[in-house]
Amino acid sequence: MNSFVEKTIDVIGFSNPMQDLLVELDRLPRSNQNLAMREYCFQGGGNVPTALVTCGMLGMKAAMLGVVGDDIFGYANLADFAYNHVDTSHVIMDPGTRTDFCIAVTERAIEGKEFISKRGTCREIELEDLDEDFLRATRIMHIGYTNPVVLRACEIVRAAGGKISIDAAYYRPDIYQHYDILDIFIASETYYNTMQREMGVEMSRAETCRYIRERGPEIVIFTFGTQGCFGVYGKDQYFETPAFTVETVDSTGAGDVFHGAFNYGYLKGWTVPEIARFCSACSAIKCTRQGGRAGIPTLGNVLRFLETGEIDTAEIDRRESHYKHGFFGQDVGGKR
């Protein structure tokens, strides 16, 4: 197979979706205490799925590959993808099973976050589930981990001229043993710190990026939240990009949005520093609302923010209202 395969999909995300319940508190309650919430809402979750929602919101042809249960959370995930322009024709609904679920708690008093998750009973994608024509048709496949099935999918995508991007949230063998199959490597501060500790070798930021790049990826970036991001690309070019300052409500999903936005800029042919600034703007806007999905902006809103520093709050208000209406937003009963 070669790079002349027609590309009809911009980005495929390979990961099981999950459902989030976002809860905002002043502080965690003491034992046996009844404490009022500041706010709550249900939103689709998962690092790769949220990156794909970002792709859909930016106008890309985005599609998910994964499994959900046939419970209410599974149906809610499908509805959320449809709301955000993500193709779910290759999302499998596993009969009689439950979808992955997470309660994400934000504490205003300490600006902290806690995540309480429960793995669903739905199965994982298996080799026989892979639609090779579907995979060959994508320009990028975005992943968050590797296993034999993911690796086979990567092989198919790369043989057809596609690229592989990864959200490397945690330093694990399934990631660092497979740098050679990755094209766009974007990792978290957690990955960076754990890598430094476990390797037992003190390296600068630039040296760390170059170490990974020498083992495969063409682009290596680390995101450090409010400290911005840094990385290497091209002919050993190092860059740093500061984060934008906004009134932050919740940083949940900021990194996921960064990944989705990066794939957009990459496919547009922008320089890596240009893409990083664009991604930082997308993530900043997201952080102005609760959860990983409500604050995801459209392309027009991001460009306006980059030019003027202003956020179209009316647009984000509409998304926030959608999610506050529950599992299916305002689409319950087929009405909107």
Q: What share of the chain has pLDDT > 70, as a percent? A: 96
* Three-state secondary-structure class, residue 191: helix
Confirm whether pTM is higher than 0.85.
yes
CA distances to 1, 141, 150, 176, 258 from 158, rounded to whole Å, are 9, 9, 12, 18, 23
Using pLDDT thresholds of 50, 70 and 90, give the confidence band for residue 1.
very low
Query: Which among 178, 184, 183 is positioned nearest to 152, based on CA atoms?
Result: 178
- How far is 7 from 2, CA to CA, in rounded Å? 12
Confidence of residue 333 (pLDDT cuts 50, 70, 90): very low
Secondary structure (3-state) at 54: helix
List pLDDT tens digits, range 122-148.
999 999 999 999 999 999 999 999 999
Q: Higher-confidence residue: 332 or 240?
A: 240
Which phi and psi angles does 126 have, rounded to 5°? -115, 165
Residue 85 in tokens: 């322009």
Model confidence pLDDT, tens digit, residues 145-199: 999 999 999 999 999 999 999 999 999 999 999 999 999 999 999 999 999 999 9
pLDDT at 327: 74
Angle subtended at Cα 94 by Cα 68 and Cα 143, rounded to the nearest 5 degrees: 40
Averaged pLDDT, 300-319: 95
What's the pLDDT score for residue 325? 86
Question: 246 to each of 44, 281, 301, 309, how far by Cα in Å?
Answer: 24, 10, 14, 9
Q: Cα(120)–Cα(328) distance, rounded to whole angstroms?
A: 20
Question: Euclidean distance between the first and final Cα of the chain, in Å?
Answer: 45
What's the farthest any 2 CA atoms get from each other in the chain?
A: 63
Task: Name residue 133's amino acid.
Answer: D
Which residue is associated with the tokens 């965690």?
A: 28
Alpha-carbon separation of residue 229 from 52, 195, 209, 225, 275 (angstroms): 21, 17, 12, 8, 11
Does the structure show a pLDDT above 50 at 71?
yes
Give 225's DSSP letter: G
* Better-scored residue on pLDDT, 235 or 146: 146
The predicted structure's pLDDT at residue 111:
75
Q: Quote the CATH superfamily of domain 10-28+37-326.
A: Ribokinase (3.40.1190.20)
Reported confidence tier of residue 335, pLDDT bands at 50, 70, 90: very low
Residue type, 105: V
Cross-strand bridge partners of residue 19: 44, 101
Average model confidence (pLDDT) across the chain = 93
